Amino acid sequence: MPDAAAVAAAFDLTRLGDAFYQDPYPVYRALRAHAPVKRLPDGSVFITRHADVLGVYKDPKTFSSDKHEEFFPKYGASPLYEHHTTSLVFNDPPLHTRVRRLIGGALTPRHIAAMEGRLVGLVDGLLDAIDGAGEVDLIPAFAGAIPVEIIGNLLDVPHAERGPLRDWSLAILGALEPVLSPEVEARGNAAVREMLVYLEGLVERRRAAPGDPEVDVLTRLIEGEGGERLSARELLHNCIFLLNAGHETTTNLIGNALRCLAEWPAERARLLAEPDLVRSGVEEFLRFESSNQLGNRITTAATEIGGVALASRTRVHIGIGAANRDPEPFPDPDRLDLSRHPNRHVAFGSGIHQCVGMGLARLEGRVAIGRFVARFPDYRLAGAPQRARRARFRGHLSLPARVR
């Protein structure tokens, strides 16, 4: 690795090499030390310190989530543009507040606790299916198979219709990478179009036969609240977002955790000896290998971060994965410590946009990782794990393992 100051000086989010995709943390370390508010060649800044990241999250007026200005040059007038600029995560209040309230009402701790029994059944079914197999790829066979069902249940998507959800989600979120190839863009646009057609039909059926708004998020979004309803486009795009948001991120949490435990045998042994450690363990996996490594904001006025002056309309890349390895709040940050405490990671963001699904993601992580390790205490990797070449969503395309 060249000198850290030189690494920080040369860093450009639009020109990342293979080494970065494999292991971005040395680069993040160099940036935190030498250029924590790094100016990129296109005028945007990339921030890597935990305190700076929190400061941005806590001031949504100065650091807006609205993406119209940023995404038009990227996507043009296209399905991807319409989708991303209509979803709650890329909007400020009031649209953000209205949608968030509707979704959040079906994801209270009480609702999430009620999902546990069904989730345990699903996970055990998957474990049964891979038990006895020689070599198995843990991404499709396990990590990727859980969130699609859970999020499908949340919107009550009929089981037989869940097949395409995972590929649509990968295609749409893949188009959020800092660099967009024509193929990825075309796949993303096609996925939005196909999802819109599918969801229009689903919404029509649900209007004809509404579900229980207590638990069915789609019915909640259709019915609205206090006389306020979402427009047809807002409804469809926020359903797409919800289906995608809970998907790859949670797959990556589970996949990254199983890879970590294969590579940190002493931590695995602690977890086996003390299964309750899975609760703080999930927080540590989220910190150590954050499934969502990047966030974005745009300044609405002249401001500063960490003493660096920023003009109005400066784009800010939030280094979630970098902040979560900052030695300031996390002593010995490159060590996996399943009982780390305190652990104020920002894997779910913070402030008004903090992940609505974090309770559900934590439950999925806890059940999937805990039950996997208990069933297959001696599992080991079988061949090289293959990482997706992505800077934003950190996970694996494949994770071959032998479970017995």
Count how many residues are written for the chain: 404
The nearer residue to ligand HEM, 33 or 349, going by C-beta atoms, is: 349
Question: Is 387 in a helix, a strand, or coil?
Answer: strand
- Binding to ligand HEM by residue 360, rule CB under 6 A? yes
Footprint on residues 252-281 left by ligand HEM (CB under 6 A) = 253
Task: Give the shortest CB-399-to-ligand HEM separation in angstroms.
Answer: 16
What angle, 0 to 180 degrees and rounded to 10, lies between the N-to-C axes of helices 232-245 and 165-174?
Answer: 100
The nearer residue to ligand HEM, 136 or 143, going by C-beta atoms, is: 143
- Binding to ligand HEM by residue 355, rule CB under 6 A? yes
Out of 259, 268, 345, 353, the only residue in the binding site for ligand HEM (CB under 6 A) is: 353
The nearer residue to ligand HEM, 107 or 130, going by C-beta atoms, is: 107
The nearer residue to ligand HEM, 115 or 403, going by C-beta atoms, is: 115
For 170-198, letters b (16+ CB in 10 Å) and e give bbbbbbbbbebeeeebebbbebbeebbeb
- Binding to ligand HEM by residue 361, rule CB under 6 A? yes
Query: In angstroms, rounded to a whole number, what is the distance separating the alpha carbons of residues 260 and 240?
Result: 31
Strand ranges inside 202-314, DSSP E: 294-299, 303-305, 308-310
Task: Give the shortest CB-2-to-ligand HEM separation in angstroms.
Answer: 31
Give residues with Cβ within 8 angstroms of 158, minimum separation 6: none
Query: In angstroms, rounded to a whole number, what is the distance separating the alpha carbons of residues 372 and 374?
Result: 5
The nearer residue to ligand HEM, 8 or 236, going by C-beta atoms, is: 236
Task: Give the shortest CB-335-to-ligand HEM separation in angstroms.
Answer: 21
Footprint on residues 286-345 left by ligand HEM (CB under 6 A) = 291-292, 295
- Binding to ligand HEM by residue 173, rule CB under 6 A? no
- Binding to ligand HEM by residue 218, rule CB under 6 A? no
Q: Are 398 and 33 in contact (CB under 8 A)?
A: no
Number of residues that bind ligand HEM (CB under 6 A): 26
Query: In angstroms, rounded to a whole number, what is the distance separating the alpha carbons of residues 371 and 119?
Result: 11
Footprint on residues 79-118 left by ligand HEM (CB under 6 A) = 88-89, 96, 100, 103
Q: Tell how far CA 380 is from the center of its chain.
A: 26
- Binding to ligand HEM by residue 148, rule CB under 6 A? no
Task: Give the shortest CB-286-to-ligand HEM separation in angstroms.
Answer: 6
- Binding to ligand HEM by residue 356, rule CB under 6 A? yes
Out of 235, 347, 373, 388, the only residue in the binding site for ligand HEM (CB under 6 A) is: 347
Query: In angstroms, rounded to a whole number, what is the distance separating the alpha carbons of residues 235 and 224?
Result: 10
User: E strand or H helix at 46, and its extent?
Assistant: strand 45-47
The nearer residue to ligand HEM, 136 or 176, going by C-beta atoms, is: 176
DSSP percent split of the chain into helix, strand, coil, nearest 5:
55, 10, 35
Footprint on residues 152-171 left by ligand HEM (CB under 6 A) = 154
Candidates 247-255, 273-281, 304-312, 335-343: pick the segment binding ligand HEM (CB under 6 A): 247-255
| Backbone phi and psi for residue 125, each to the nearest 5 degrees, phi listed first | -60, -45
Out of 242, 261, 336, 373, the only residue in the binding site for ligand HEM (CB under 6 A) is: 242
Residue 332, Cβ density class (10 Å: 0-12 exposed, 13-18 middle, ≥19 buried): exposed
Out of 71, 142, 348, 379, the only residue in the binding site for ligand HEM (CB under 6 A) is: 348
In eight-state DSSP terms, residue 25 is H
What residues line the site for ligand HEM (CB under 6 A)? 65, 88-89, 96, 100, 103, 151, 154, 242, 245-246, 249-250, 253, 291-292, 295, 347-349, 353, 355-357, 360-361
